[in-house]
């Protein structure tokens, strides 16, 4: 008898952003004259920079001629891009990562969702709480998360690592030992970062327990503090236990172009099998490579001009982050994040729930943010604002909030 994949029925729906959209639409319908400012979404708003645009145009032109036309891309990525990544993101930072350990993809969302496929469904996963929802949902789909418990708002087989004010939004080693540990730093949604010293402890923990860390470094470009590592491979021993995910979305504005990559060192060996070989096989079977044109644009990110322009984008957003952080702090809010990340995580005032605070901002000052409880039970009582809007809108939104 035909059956659906019943694991999907355990998914809790994408209620977060759809509920936000519903509430905002209802408000707009009733108040068409009100100007709503959105500081809720994680999408960028600045256009692509000139060097990237030129690389795109040049690559498009190449496609018009028989001699330079490109068909299917190599499924692990073009050599020119893998080498540029290895050199700039790893070798220059003293990390021992080679071009053939880099797998180019269409972004960190797909990779963070798909990577679980190369592990047994028996493996136990540990995630931070609150968390980027893809890590949990992709494991629900594959049956690794177990049943959902409505009362505790979590999955039975998932090990949750609460990240709250009490531990400065940094996970502690869990009581149960996981097989797969998802870490994301700088963090979405809390905007927190991890010191190299602390990350080294996680790497040692993973090696000691024969676990694998899936390290999502999508926001690496926003790091401003010296003691915060840009890559997990800055830590000793990471080559035997860590997979790193990166994205061109937030540093270079590729959310619409789509480009990212995953690093799997050849030294991660489980029962005689390298994870590198499994992921290569998976890519070869299910993926035909990121578009040539986009990979050329990715290469341009690493040119001298490209690097300068990208820095300009990140600086633009981080100016917003500072405005949000300082504005709210000066107004008496308890805030974190915003220093090494484009996310500001604030404690809701007067013990309001995350959704009550959402309603207050929407109805009273017409600003949209994201309720922390939507990222996991430990996000209750918190709220996320993003620095990805325009500077003018950001200033207006914070001025409205702090005057309210």
Ligand X SMILES: Cc1ncc(COP(=O)(O)O)c(C=O)c1O
Pick from 222, 308, 294, 390: nearest CA to 49: 308
Site stretch for ligand X (CB under 6 A), options 14-22, 108-116, 302-310, 381-389 = 108-116
* Vertex 136: Cα angle to 150 and 235 (nearest 5): 135
- Which residues within the stretch 36-55 sit at the binding site for ligand X (CB under 6 A)? 42
Rule CB under 6 A: say whether 253 interacts with ligand X: no
Q: Do the Cβ atoms of 36 and 291 come closer than 8 Å? A: no
Query: Would you say 283 or 366 has its CB closer to ligand X?
Result: 283
Parallel/antiparallel/unpaired status of strands 102-105 and 154-155:
unpaired
Q: What are phi and psi of 101, to 5 degrees?
A: -105, 5
How far from the centroid of its chain's Cα atoms is residue 206's Cα?
21
Q: Which of 107, 253, 372, 389 binds ligand X (CB under 6 A)?
A: 107
Rule CB under 6 A: say whether 77 interacts with ligand X: no
Q: Is 185 exposed, middle or buried (0-12, 13-18, 19+ CB in 10 A)?
A: buried
Rule CB under 6 A: say whether 249 interacts with ligand X: yes
Rule CB under 6 A: say whether 384 interacts with ligand X: no
Rule CB under 6 A: say whether 184 interacts with ligand X: yes
Rule CB under 6 A: say whether 115 interacts with ligand X: no
Rounded to whole angstroms, the Cα distance separating 346 from 276 reads: 39
Rule CB under 6 A: say whether 188 interacts with ligand X: yes
Q: Do the Cβ atoms of 103 and 280 come closer than 8 Å? A: yes
Rule CB under 6 A: say whether 255 interacts with ligand X: yes
Q: CB 249 → ligand X: shortest distance, Å?
A: 3
Site stretch for ligand X (CB under 6 A), options 10-18, 106-114, 151-159, 322-330 = 106-114
Give the Cβ contact number of residue 22 at 10 Å: 11
Rule CB under 6 A: say whether 109 interacts with ligand X: yes
Rule CB under 6 A: say whether 108 interacts with ligand X: yes
Residues that bind ligand X (rule: CB under 6 A) add up to a total of: 14
Binding site for ligand X (CB under 6 A): 42, 107-109, 112, 132, 184, 188, 216, 218, 247, 249, 255, 260
């Amino acid at each position: 008898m035909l059956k659906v994949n019943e694991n999907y029925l355990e998914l809790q729906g994408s209620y977060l952003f759809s509920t936000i959209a519903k509430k905002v639409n209802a408000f707009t319908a009733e108040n068409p004259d009100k100007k709503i400012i959105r500081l809720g979404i994680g999408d960028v708003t600045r256009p692509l920079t000139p060097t990237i645009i030129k690389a795109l145009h040049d690559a498009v032109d190449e496609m018009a001629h028989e001699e330079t036309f490109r068909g299917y891309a190599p499924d692990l990525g073009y050599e020119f891009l893998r080498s540029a990544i290895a050199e700039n993101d790893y070798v220059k930072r003293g990390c021992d990562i080679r071009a053939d350990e880099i797998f180019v993809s269409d972004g960190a969302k797909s990779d963070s969702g798909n990577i679980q496929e190369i592990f047994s469904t028996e493996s136990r996963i540990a995630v931070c709480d609150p968390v980027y929802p893809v890590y949990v949902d992709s494991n629900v789909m594959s049956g690794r998360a177990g049943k959902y418990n409505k009362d505790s708002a979590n999955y039975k087989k998932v090990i949750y690592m609460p990240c709250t004010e009490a531990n400065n939004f940094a996970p502690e080693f869990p009581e149960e030992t996981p097989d797969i540990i998802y870490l994301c730093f700088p963090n979405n949604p809390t905007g927190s970062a991890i010191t190299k010293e602390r990350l080294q402890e996680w790497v040692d923990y993973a090696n000691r327990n024969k676990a694998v860390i899936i390290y999502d470094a999508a926001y690496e470009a926003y790091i401003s503090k010296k003691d915060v590592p840009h890559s997990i491979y800055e830590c000793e021993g990471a080559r035997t236990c860590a997979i790193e995910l990166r994205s061109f979305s937030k540093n270079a504005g590729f959310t619409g172009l789509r480009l990212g990559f995953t690093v799997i060192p050849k030294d991660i060996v489980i029962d005689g099998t390298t994870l590198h070989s499994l992921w290569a096989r998976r890519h070869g079977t299910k993926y035909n490579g990121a578009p040539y044109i986009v990979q050329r644009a990715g290469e341009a990110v690493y040119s001298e001009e490209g690097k300068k322009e990208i820095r300009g984008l990140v600086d633009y957003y981080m100016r917003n982050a500072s405005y949000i952080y300082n504005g709210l702090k000066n107004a008496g809010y308890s805030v974190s994040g915003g220093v090494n990340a484009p996310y500001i995580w604030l404690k809701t005032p007067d013990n309001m729930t995350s959704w009550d605070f959402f309603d207050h901002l929407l109805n009273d000052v017409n600003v949209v943010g994201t309720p922390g409880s939507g990222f996991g039970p430990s996000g209750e009582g918190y709220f996320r604002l993003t620095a990805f809007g325009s500077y003018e809108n950001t200033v207006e939104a914070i001025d409205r909030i702090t005057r309210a």
